[in-house]
Amino acid sequence: MRVRNLAVVLLVASCLIGCSRLYYASMKKIGKEKRDILASRILDAKKDQEKAKEQIKTTMEAFQELTGFQGGDLEKVYKKLNGEYEDAADRARKVSERIDSIERVSSDLFKEWDGEIDSMGDRQLRQRSRQMLADTQRREAVLVRKMRDVEARMKPVLTTFHDKVLFLKHNLNARAIASLKQTSVELDNQVGALVKEIEASVQEADAFIATLKAD
């Protein structure tokens, strides 16, 4: 059983490697090197983080609207909150996927870069190129760490929304809503901290793209 599982893993890995090579080859034909692909994926990640930020803020507003319910169609207000939460969860998943894609491309880029350095005959140029590689790897590590921090901070916020939405689904009445009012301020603070974290990550992405193009 273990041998068969290992064989499946190796087969999947080989397929992924083959697909990656085909993808890079196709992109190269239209003038897109791995560096260009990396810059593009970082830009996409930046945009998705900004979208996630706005969606989480919107979800918070929907939660505040429900906890401040003064009458009307309670079911409609709840469905709005549930929809906003589901959209926020989807945005968070997209951010995670973007970060994963950045790590894959950067890893492939750095491997290629390192191999090409070894083929250089000029010692001084080789040293300069290796320093540039090290600097780019360091900046990429800082960027990914900030993005992972955003990802990590999103999880407890979304978990809190998830729990409260489910609680309201099971207890959609004035008493249940009143019991959540006291947690609104705490959740709002969590969201505020997350928004700042995302904005810092977005700024880091802009800085990295600028230096990548400059290099």
pLDDT beyond 90 at 213: no
Domains of the chain, residue spans: 1-31, 33-214
pTM for this entry: 0.84
Q: In terms of C-beta density within 10 A (0-12 exposed, 13-18 middle, 19 or more buried), how is residue 81 classed?
A: buried
> Can you tell me the mean pLDDT for 34-58?
96
pLDDT for 162 beyond 70: yes
Give the model's pLDDT for residue 214: 66
* pLDDT at res. 172: 87
Q: Residue 64 has what pLDDT?
A: 92
Written in H, E and C, the secondary structure of 147-202 is HHHHHHHHHHHHHHHHHHHHHHHHCCCHHHHHHHHHHHHHHHHHHHHHHHHHHHHH
Contact in structure between 95 and 49 (CB atoms under 8 Å): yes
**Residues of 107-117 as b/e, b for ≥16 C-beta within 10 angstroms?**
ebbbeebeeeb
Q: State yes or no: pLDDT of 8 exceeds 70.
A: no
Decide if pLDDT at 13 tops 50. no
Orientation of helix 74-118 relative to helix 34-67, angle to 10°: 160
Question: For residues 50 and 182, which has the higher predicted lDDT (pLDDT)?
Answer: 50
Query: In whole angstroms, what is the distance from residue 20 CA to residue 100 CA?
Result: 14
67 or 44, which is more confident: 44
pLDDT score of 28 more than 90: no
Q: What is the pLDDT of residues 89-146, one digit of tens each?
A: 999 999 999 999 999 999 999 999 999 999 999 999 999 999 999 999 999 999 999 9
